[in-house]
Structure 1
Amino acid sequence: MALLRDWGLTLGKWAGRPGVKVQRDSGDPDVQRVRDAAEAGDWAAVRAVLEARPESEDRTELLWAVGDTAGVERWIAPVLEAEPDAPLPLLVAGIRHISWGWEARTDALAKHVSREQFDVFHARLRTAEQWLYEVAEREPGWSSPWYGLQITGRGLEVGPATARRRFEATVRRAPHHLGAHQQQLQQVCAKWSGSHDEMHAFARTAALGAPGGTLLGQLVPYAHIEHWLALDSGADAAYIRRPEVAASLREAADHSYRHPDFQRGRGWLQLVNTFAMAFSLAGERNGARECFEAADGRVTESPWYYLDGDDPAAAYRKMRSVAGR
């Protein structure tokens, strides 16, 4: 499910030795608050948390906390009937159906997914699309429905042109929406409908075209990690140890977390973990050490699960040791 969303972070789950913990959310207390309300089927409490946030990327993590909660599809149905003109219940229902669809499909390779699973997956995504388009019509300034449509679009294989239009619709409303850029990065990578060159060009243009200090700098190391993952053993190390890869990582770091305007707000921990892994693979010990010092033992599942899917913290500790931390 990591490909679907913001390469998200759950506070408090300790993994490995003391001092290292895996985090699967940003630490925002409203995330657990809205998740508890969703588990209880308390729509009034869910709505209160969501409406307290501006309709922008600030709502993204909260919406997915609700959408990933089992049973939301049951209690949101009567809410839709009771509030037929309200956009927020439709948005919640749409996001839930995206997550619910991927639950049916599972994260297995396509060859291991049955026809019946794909039928349920596609049906739920089509329902989500219907509701998300309704939200977009009712609230033309909202970015959230378009971000959701980026995700349904990849699941339904709408093609690169439609995917690009959905991405552009999201960023017209929220220009530096990290999730939207991450979804488009996946769309243009070689394993979907693009190529390594297209992926790197998109990552660099988006990262360096944004104001200094934003989270979009993360796109550059993630693109290099995606490229590295696509290569066979031997070729992968040769690629990521190229001098031009290290140079591009340093350039992106200078424009993101090293920039004087950078602030440790929501999402900063994901960014330094991604740079830590990319610098480590590239053999850039100084850059890696800098990021490990900033993370201070707080591990985000992505991207470390690419090195150890069972224990991301173990991969983090190993690379941290190599970097001399």
Structure 2
Amino acid sequence: MVRTMALLPPFIRSGRMRRTAPHPAGPRPAGQPEPGVPADDEVLLDAPDERLGPALVAAAQGAYGPAAGLLAGTRERRAWEDRDGYVLRLAAFARSRPEWLQRWRAAAPHDPDALLVAAQLGVDRAWPSPGRAELLREVSPLTTAAARGDDRDPVPWRVALDHARGSRAGHRYFEELWEAAVRRAPHHYGCHVAALRYLASSWHGAHRECLDFADRAAQDAPAGSLVQALPVRAAFAYLTDGCGGEVPRERLDAAADRAIALSGALPAATVRPAEVRNLLLYVLIRLGRHRDALAQVRLIGPYATSFPWDRVSDDPLGLFLRVRADVRAAPLAPPPRHPGSARN
């Protein structure tokens, strides 16, 4: 887990490594109304949407039917972004409660949806281990089976891209996986994030190159695609890394502006864009753009996400609430923009 607290503003540094309850925000100064911001006790961390929630409840009771129906529906609709997010959440749930997935696989061993969740679970279980590369080699048959499950589906290829990064696969093999992924869905956000992570890990500190990749992908993607948030993800990696060459401030602002436009085009206070908005909020704070940060706080509504806050704190919800309180109390005059690095 990345720990780069020396690079964070003081109000974020104060929350490092604490698991205590967050301090409640103080009263709003007189004359500064704040519409549309829920109270601290109304904020949810990693809330499921209205489709995923019932599937998780059923899984907790040992039933796999709702999860199977949910994922089958995403294939039928070719809702690949939803599918990717659901697979990640279902696999995360199965790490501690695997019985429902075991029943599913026993009942339908060739079900492409069950195979996909199992492949994601295998990658997730291997990732924290010092012997990750060896464990991931044992997961390879699962990722291959998942990729063969439905030839239209890019999500198994996102899992395969993550698998390749974890097993330190060579560039040529990764490029083959990447070509297979984008052939199925040229603007799939999850696959692009996986590729960005691979670039960042293969050429640590090459932040300009990562931003170049993210910018090209965003320029090629439709205006409403989540790929529009890829540059701000690259900016986040730069701001939290602490090594590599300097990135001009204007490039970071441009990445934030692109994500702001995406956020503004999506429904306010909803689950699907919540992670992008939480990520954007972090980057805007690091850039000192408090007026824009306050706008994202309002668009986030009650939906906090673990990422990016868990990259800098062991208490992501507490940190989000503290950050939100400071953003709400900050002066709203826009800071001057200037060229140069915004890393420190």
| TM-score, normalising length: structure 2 | 0.72
1:156 deviation in Å? 0.9
Change (3 A) 1:246 1:83: closer
Letter in 1 for 2:260: A
Alignment counterpart, residue 170 of structure 1, candidates 173, 181, 184: 181
Superposition pairs for residues 81-230 of structure 1, below 5 Å?
81-102=106-127, 105=129, 113=130, 118=131, 121-122=132-133, 124-189=135-200, 191-193=201-203, 195-230=206-241
* Correspondence for 1:10: none
Structure 1 SS opposite 2:186: coil
The structure whose RCO (Cα within 8 Å, separation 6+) is larger is 2
CA contact (8 A) 1:240 1:282 kept: no
Which deviations, in whole Å up to 9, do the C-alpha atoms of 1:99-134 show, x marking residues without a partner? 22236x2xxxxxxx4xxxx1xx44543343212212
Structure 2 SS opposite 1:293: helix
* Correspondence for 1:65: 89
Structure 2 SS opposite 1:141: coil
Give the paired residue count: 292
CA contact (8 A) 2:122 2:136 kept: yes
Letter in 2 for 1:218: A
Letter in 2 for 1:284: R
* Correspondence for 1:9: none
Are 2:29 and 1:19 aligned? Answer: no
Alignment counterpart, residue 48 of structure 1, candidates 45, 55, 69: 69
Are 2:278 and 1:273 aligned? Answer: yes
Structure 1 unaligned residues grouped into runs of 5+ = 3-13, 106-112
Change (3 A) 1:22 1:241: farther
Letter in 1 for 2:65: A
CA contact (8 A) 2:228 2:258 kept: no
* Correspondence for 2:51: 30
Percentage of matched positions with identical amino acids: 22
Superposition pairs for residues 233-252 of structure 1, below 5 Å?
242-252=249-259
Q: What RMSD over aligned residues (CA atoms) do the two structures have, in Å?
A: 3.2
CA contact (8 A) 2:218 2:228 kept: yes
Structure-2 separation of matches of 1:248 and 1:77: 42
Alignment counterpart, residue 329 of structure 2, candidates 306, 315, 321: 321
Structure-2 separation of matches of 1:184 and 1:301: 21
Letter in 1 for 2:211: H
Which deviations, in whole Å up to 9, do the C-alpha atoms of 1:269-312 show, x marking residues without a partner? 22222222222211233332332332246433322334444232
CA contact (8 A) 2:235 2:255 kept: no
Change (3 A) 1:76 1:263: closer
Letter in 2 for 1:43: Y
CA contact (8 A) 1:73 1:93 kept: no
| TM-score, normalising length: structure 1 | 0.76
CA contact (8 A) 2:46 2:306 kept: no
* Correspondence for 1:282: 287
Change (3 A) 1:188 1:58: same
1:28 deviation in Å? 0.8
Structure-2 separation of matches of 1:27 and 1:85: 27
Structure-2 separation of matches of 1:285 and 1:240: 21
1:81 deviation in Å? 4.7
Letter in 2 for 1:99: D
Change (3 A) 1:272 1:323: farther
* Correspondence for 2:342: none
Structure-2 separation of matches of 1:31 and 1:244: 36
1:201 deviation in Å? 0.5
CA contact (8 A) 2:119 2:146 kept: no
Which deviations, in whole Å up to 9, do the C-alpha atoms of 1:238-291 show, x marking residues without a partner? x6783443244325534x2345xx455653222222222222211233332332
Structure-1 separation of matches of 2:43 and 2:88: 19
* Correspondence for 1:257: 263
Structure-2 separation of matches of 1:320 and 1:72: 39
1:177 deviation in Å? 1.8
Change (3 A) 1:272 1:83: closer
Structure-1 separation of matches of 2:177 and 2:104: 27
Letter in 1 for 2:236: I
